Amino acid sequence: MAEITALLVKQLRERTGAGMMECKSALMEAKGDLPEAEVVLRKRGITSAAKKASRSTKQGLIGTYIHHGGQLGVLVEVDCESDFVARTDDFQELVHDVAMHIAAADPQFIRKEDVTPEALEKEKDIQRARALAEGKPEKIVDKIIEGRLGKFYEEICLYEQPFVKDNTLTIDQLIKTKIAKLKENIVVSRFVRFKVGDAPATGSGGGETAVPEPVQA
C-alpha cells in the first residue's frame, strides 16, 4: 500500500475537485492507487446523486458556446437548486462544458427517456434488417437489437455520450460528480444547437421546448 501523502491527496483533489477528506478516504480505500481512487470518488458521486435526484431544480444558468468562426453555436439551460450554487465557478464551468460538448457531439435528445417512439422504432427496424442481413437467427434478433440500442443511445442522447474533454466519463457521470461536490441536484433542462444553414436542433424531448423531468439516477 502506497503512503497516503499530502502530495497524493493534492493531486487527487486537482484531478477530481473533491474535498480533502473525501480524497484521503478514497485513497485509503484504493490503497494509494490514484486512478483507482478516482473511480472510488466517481462511485460515491453516483450514489450521492441518486439521493438528490428527486429534488426540485428551480435555479440555474443559461449557457452559451460559439465555435470559432461563428458558424456553430449552442444555448443550454442547466438547472440546480439554489442561486448560490448557480453562481459558483464549478457550476459555471459545468454549464460551459456541456454547451461545448453539445456543439461538438450534436446530441438530439437529453436522455434515453426523451427519444421519441418514432425514432426508436425506426432504429429498431434498421437494426432488425441489419441482423437478418448478417444471417442471425430470427429467434435471437430481438436480443441483438436490444444490445445494439446502447450504441444508438450513446450517439443521440446527451447524457449517454462520452464527454468530449474526457471520454472516460459520460455527460451523466460528469453531472453526477458535480452533484456530489456541490451537494445539490443538477439537470440539463433543454438546449438549442444552431449551425449556419441548418434548422436548429432542440434537445428536450423529441424536439419540443418543454422542460423534461429531472433525471432519475
Give the model's pLDDT for residue 115: 92
Together in a domain, 31 and 123 = no
Give the model's pLDDT for residue 50: 61
Q: Which domain holds residue 47?
A: 6-52
Q: Write the CATH number for 122.
A: 1.10.286
Angle separating helix axes 171-182 and 34-52, nearest 10 degrees:
80
Q: Write the CATH number for 34.
A: 1.10.8.10
How many domains is the chain partitioned into structurally? 3
Give the model's pLDDT for residue 211: 37
Together in a domain, 35 and 135 = no
Query: Does residue 172 form part of some domain?
Result: yes
CA distance 112 to 91: 24
pLDDT of the chain, 217 residues: tens digit per residue: 567 888 888 888 777 766 677 788 888 888 888 888 888 877 776 655 666 666 778 899 999 999 988 999 999 999 999 999 999 999 999 999 999 999 999 999 999 999 999 999 999 999 999 998 988 888 898 889 988 898 999 999 999 999 999 888 899 989 988 888 888 999 999 999 999 988 767 775 433 333 334 333 3
Q: Specify whether the CB–CB gap between 178 and 90 falls below 8 A.
A: yes
Together in a domain, 43 and 120 = no
Give the model's pLDDT for residue 142: 87
Query: Does residue 210 form part of some domain?
Result: no
CA distance 110 to 187: 10
Q: Specify whether the CB–CB gap between 194 and 74 falls below 8 A.
A: yes
pTM here is 0.70
Together in a domain, 191 and 88 = yes
Query: Does residue 209 form part of some domain?
Result: no
Burial class (CB in 10 A: 0-12, 13-18, 19+), 167: exposed
Together in a domain, 23 and 80 = no
Assigned C-alpha cell, 120: 426508436
Give the model's pLDDT for residue 20: 78
At 75, give phi and psi (nearest 5°): -115, 130
Together in a domain, 77 and 143 = no
Residues comprising the chain, all counted: 217
Together in a domain, 64 and 101 = yes
Q: Specify whether the CB–CB gap between 210 and 204 falls below 8 A.
A: yes
Together in a domain, 129 and 73 = no
CA separation (Å) from 16 to 7, 35, 37, 51, 100?
14, 11, 10, 20, 20
Together in a domain, 108 and 162 = yes
Assigned C-alpha cell, 31: 490503497
In the chain, the N- to C-terminal Cα span, in Å, equals 33
Residue type, 27: L
Give the model's pLDDT for residue 169: 85
